[in-house]
């Protein structure tokens, strides 16, 4: 059981927008920056969003993140078939003194 | 160019030991926190542990699931981070990734801005 809770899967058509939620608590999301990773099939994860809403160089503006209270959200607009991947949220948990991840969300672009 | 290359993964029997290596290049090794993250087959990501930068204090933190069995160390001269795994269990079977923390001298290891390709550890009799 993951410390952070994500939906197992989401789907949408090309060109549409999809939202992936990540729910935690005051010891993790509520008081620490949230990060999102994209893992394409058969590859290592890649940093997608950090510090709740910042994009590393090279990540398209179609990807955006936000945090409110003890929850975070990843929004992917203008979906492309190449966006099909697993998406993970992560942060630090101050009570566990450990890094924590969500269970991952599989995105299908129909 | 930042590169992280893991090695040392293998098939090992329960109760035995294994040491993984992560050879790095392209950045000032001692300035960044370095972590290990694992992923069991078909499962999600699990943070294993990390070492803070020498510029901070070089201390380590571990996940509860590996504390007391796994140890992270570094060879600063050769820019290598190790993961010594003792008393291995079948549930330690996973792809092990070496990652770098984004912030120089960060107290926390996150976010992980660079990842290696991983090395596979299989614990089975």
Question: Averaged over B16-35, what is the pLDDT?
Answer: 96
Please check whether residue A99 is in contact with residue A2, taking contact to mean a CB–CB distance below 8 angstroms.
Answer: no
- CB within 8 Å: B47 and A103: no
Q: Which of A44, A49, A51, A65 is best to mutate for the B interface (most B CBs within 10 A)?
A: A44
- CB within 8 Å: B45 and A101: yes
State the pLDDT at residue B122.
98
From chain B, the residues in CB contact with A101 under 8 A are 44-47
Question: What span, in angstroms and rounded, lies between the C-alpha atoms of B47 and B38?
Answer: 6
CB atoms within 10 A of CB A1: 4
- CB within 8 Å: B61 and A98: yes
Query: Residues of chain A whose pLDDT is less than 50?
Result: none
Q: What is the DSSP string of A1-68?
A: --SBB--SEEEE-TT--EEEEEE--TTTTTTS--EEEEE-TTS--EEEEBTTTB--TT--TTEEEEEE
Q: Which residue of B has its CA nearest to A98?
A: B63
From chain A, the residues in CB contact with B64 under 8 A are 96, 98
**How close, in Å, is residue B78 to chain A by CA atoms?**
24
B104: confidence class by pLDDT, cuts 50, 70, 90: confident
Task: Tell me: pLDDT of B54 over 90.
Answer: no
**How close, in Å, is residue A14 to chain B by CA atoms?**
26
Average pLDDT across chain B, whole number: 95
**How close, in Å, is residue B104 to chain A by CA atoms?**
15
Question: Averaged over B9-38, what is the pLDDT?
Answer: 96
Taking only the tens place, the pLDDT of each residue in B108-118 is: 888 999 999 99
State the pLDDT at residue B17.
98
Size of interface A-B (CB pairs under 8 A): 68
B56: confidence class by pLDDT, cuts 50, 70, 90: confident
Q: Which residue of A has its CA nearest to B95?
A: A44
State the pLDDT at residue B55.
81
Task: Tell me: pLDDT of B47 over 90.
Answer: yes
| Torsion sign (Cα): A80, A84, A85, A90 | positive
State the pLDDT at residue B125.
95
Least Cα distance to B15 among B120, B72, B90 occurs for: B90
State the pLDDT at residue A97.
93
First to last CA, chain B: 40
């Amino acid at each position: 059981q993951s410390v952070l809770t994500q939906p197992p899967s989401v789907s949408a058509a090309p060109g549409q927008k999809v939202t992936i939620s990540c729910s935690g608590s005051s010891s993790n999301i509520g008081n620490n920056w949230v990060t999102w990773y994209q893992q394409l099939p058969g590859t290592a994860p890649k940093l997608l969003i950090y510090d709740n809403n910042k994009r590393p160089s090279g990540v398209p503006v179609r990807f955006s993140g936000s945090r409110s209270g003890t929850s975070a959200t990843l929004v992917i607009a203008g979906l492309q078939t190449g966006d099909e991947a697993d998406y993970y949220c992560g942060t630090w948990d101050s009570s566990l003194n450990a890094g924590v991840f969500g269970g991952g969300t599989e995105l299908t672009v129909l | 160019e930042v590169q992280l290359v893991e090695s040392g993964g293998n098939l090992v029997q329960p109760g035995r030991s294994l040491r993984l290596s992560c050879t790095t290049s392209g950045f000032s090794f001692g300035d960044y926190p370095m972590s290990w993250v694992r992923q069991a087959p078909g499962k999600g990501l699990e943070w294993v542990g990390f070492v803070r930068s020498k510029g901070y204090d070089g201390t380590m933190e571990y996940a509860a699931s590996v504390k007391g069995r796994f140890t992270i160390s570094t060879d600063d001269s050769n820019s290598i981070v190790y993961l010594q795994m003792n008393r291995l269990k079948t549930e330690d079977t996973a792809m092990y990734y070496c990652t770098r923390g984004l912030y120089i001298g960060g107290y926390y290891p996150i976010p992980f801005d660079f990842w290696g390709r991983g090395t596979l550890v299989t614990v089975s009799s």
